[in-house]
Amino acid sequence: MNVSEALRKVCLSFPEVEETESHSMANFKIRGKAFATFAINHHGDGRVALWLDAPTGSQAHHIEMDSEHYFKPQYVGPKGWLGVELNKKLSWESIVQRVREAYEKVAPDELVKDLGPNIKLKGSIKKLKPAEINPFLQPKIQNFINTLDEYCQSLPETKTAKGFGNPQWKAGKKTYVCLHRYDKKLCLQVWVGLDQQSFLIADKRFKIPPYVGHNGWIDLDVESSANWKEIRSLVEQSYRHFALKRMLKQLDG
């Protein structure tokens, strides 16, 4: 059993808990109210973490006493939620107790009063490997990144960068292509313009992404296959949109 399997076993051991997914993260809810979120490598932080709706004062107490295993998570941290490192040496007895405390805070009294003893996990629990935490470390994806980078670097004044843990390529200061992986799909994100968006989405490999789609960006699913002639064409089109005149002069020279 690995960390992911153990965590789900713990959370689902409490009465009426349901698991849902949002932004590629597992959320555990009791009657529609979330009390725990499982976040792996959130925005490239490298953590295998559990975010818990902890009791008042719990966040400050645990972080002060053990900052190696506890932290203030993004977004929900200001609301008192507690981040728990799962891929380190914190005992699973402690993790189970933190989950119970969050459950007890959110669950109705009639469910809390009938709770039995905490679940005890049997056998060893394996840590997640680096490539399981960060999918960009997987050999297949690394090969794709290297091929894409080789082409992008051939375009004038291209620089590599990262945004929210995702590889990006910039024309000067402006991003013109990036990679991201949600729902176990590797996607190439480029600018194509609003007019071409409506044409491309007739192909199921393409979809309009959230947040930036209204500005003319599009996602291409490259998880299972990659047409490099198509990819280079899309990347160059996006590059030309953001590049400065001197860059285009170099490109066309």
Q: Which residues form the domain of 28?
A: 3-132
Are 148 and 94 in a shared domain? no
Are 141 and 186 in a shared domain? yes
Strands 33-40 and 48-52: antiparallel
Instruction: Examine the fold and report which residue of 97, 132, 167 is the final residue of a domain before the chain moves on.
Output: 132
Are 174 and 243 in a shared domain? yes
CA gap 218, 208 in Å, rounded: 5
Are 114 and 212 in a shared domain? no
In sequence order, the 6+-apart residues with CB closer than 8 A to the CB of 179 are: 136, 144, 145, 148, 166, 167, 168, 186, 187, 188, 189
Q: What's CA 251's distance to the chain center, in Å?
A: 35
Question: How many domains would you assign to the chain?
Answer: 2
Are 116 and 166 in a shared domain? no
SS3 81: coil
CA atoms within 13 A on the CB side of 73: 27
Instruction: Examine the fold and report which residue of 100, 132, 164 is the final residue of a domain before the chain moves on.
Output: 132
Instruction: Examine the fold and report which residue of 105, 132, 159 is the final residue of a domain before the chain moves on.
Output: 132
pLDDT by residue, tens only, the chain of 253 residues = 999 999 999 999 999 999 998 777 899 999 999 999 999 998 888 899 999 999 999 999 999 999 999 999 988 999 999 999 999 889 999 999 999 999 999 999 999 998 989 999 988 899 999 988 888 999 999 999 999 999 999 999 999 999 888 999 999 999 999 999 877 789 999 999 999 999 999 999 999 998 899 999 999 999 989 999 999 999 999 999 999 999 999 999 8
